[in-house]
């Protein structure tokens, strides 16, 4: 994986915790503003992290269960994969795009699920939402106050869908989680084509799973 900016690496421990705040499902007949959604679920997620004995013990299977239940349905992994691939996305077939999306999703889950059990006493400050009537894309800005160390800015690129807002990027200390992969993906495609990228991602995910 391409090395992340130093600030982004330091933020890895809080990234998945903060990202989980946008993961609670909304009632079928309601659609909240994106910043309201983030704030509403924060305390619930924090309570889960603090009170779940399996998470506190570092049980990665339980951590992944929490991610599946509270986070993943509210991310647009197709758009995330397309952003990560850049111009190469258009040259991939629909089947290749699906494979890349699935493998990229698994990569992100496995890369960051381990950070969840490192949560201790971080708190979140929410910045005022800059949003005009009719906007379908906004950025929700937050500042993570850590138990020790400087606070870290974590922002969420959000897109309005038919039933809810979904996140298509997480920006940690100014570094996009999604486009951080672009140079690596471009290099893989240059050397082995789109199928080569798929194989690399699949091998990586199987290796992490085995470990």
Sheet holding 175-176, edge to edge: 123-126, 137-145, 152-160, 165-172, 175-176
* pLDDT score of 23: 46
* pLDDT score of 65: 83
- Distance, in Å, from the CA atom of 22 to the CA atom of 4, rounded to the nearest integer, reads 23
Confidence band for 59, pLDDT divided at 50, 70 and 90: confident
* pLDDT score of 162: 85
CB 141 within 8 A of CB 155: yes
* pLDDT score of 30: 55
25-53 confidence digits (pLDDT tens): 444 445 788 888 777 766 666 677 778 88
CATH number of 6-210: 3.10.450.710
* pLDDT score of 1: 45
90-112 confidence digits (pLDDT tens): 999 999 999 999 999 998 887 66
pLDDT of 4 higher than 50: no
Which strand (E) or helix (H) includes residue 144?
strand 137-145
Q: Average pLDDT of the chain?
A: 80
134-172 confidence digits (pLDDT tens): 899 999 999 988 877 889 898 989 999 988 889 899 898
Which strand (E) or helix (H) includes residue 50?
helix 34-51
* pLDDT score of 29: 45
**Token pair for 186:** 């471009």
Give how far the C-alpha of residue 111 lies from the chain's centroid of Cα atoms, to the nearest Å.
10
CB 140 within 8 A of CB 39: no
């Amino acid at each position: 994986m391409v090395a992340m900016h130093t600030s982004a690496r330091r933020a890895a421990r809080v990234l998945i915790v903060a990202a989980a705040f946008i993961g609670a499902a909304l009632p079928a007949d309601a659609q909240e503003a994106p910043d309201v959604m983030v704030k509403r679920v924060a305390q619930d997620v924090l309570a889960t992290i603090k009170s779940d004995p399996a998470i506190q013990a570092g049980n990665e299977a339980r951590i992944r269960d929490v991610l599946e239940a509270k986070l993943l349905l509210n991310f647009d992994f197709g758009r995330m994969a397309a952003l990560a691939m850049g111009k190469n996305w258009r040259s991939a077939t629909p089947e290749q795009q699906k494979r890349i999306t699935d493998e990229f999703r698994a990569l992100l889950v496995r890369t960051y699920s381990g950070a969840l059990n490192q949560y201790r006493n971080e708190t979140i400050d929410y910045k005022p939402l800059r949003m005009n009537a009719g906007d379908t894309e906004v950025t929700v800005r937050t500042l993570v106050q850590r138990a020790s160390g400087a606070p870290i800015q974590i922002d969420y690129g959000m897109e309005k869908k038919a039933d809810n807002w979904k996140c298509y990027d997480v920006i940690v200390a100014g570094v996009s989680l999604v486009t951080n992969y672009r140079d690596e993906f471009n290099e893989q495609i240059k050397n082995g084509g789109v199928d080569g990228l798929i194989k690399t991602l699949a091998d990586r995910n199987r290796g992490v799973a085995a470990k």
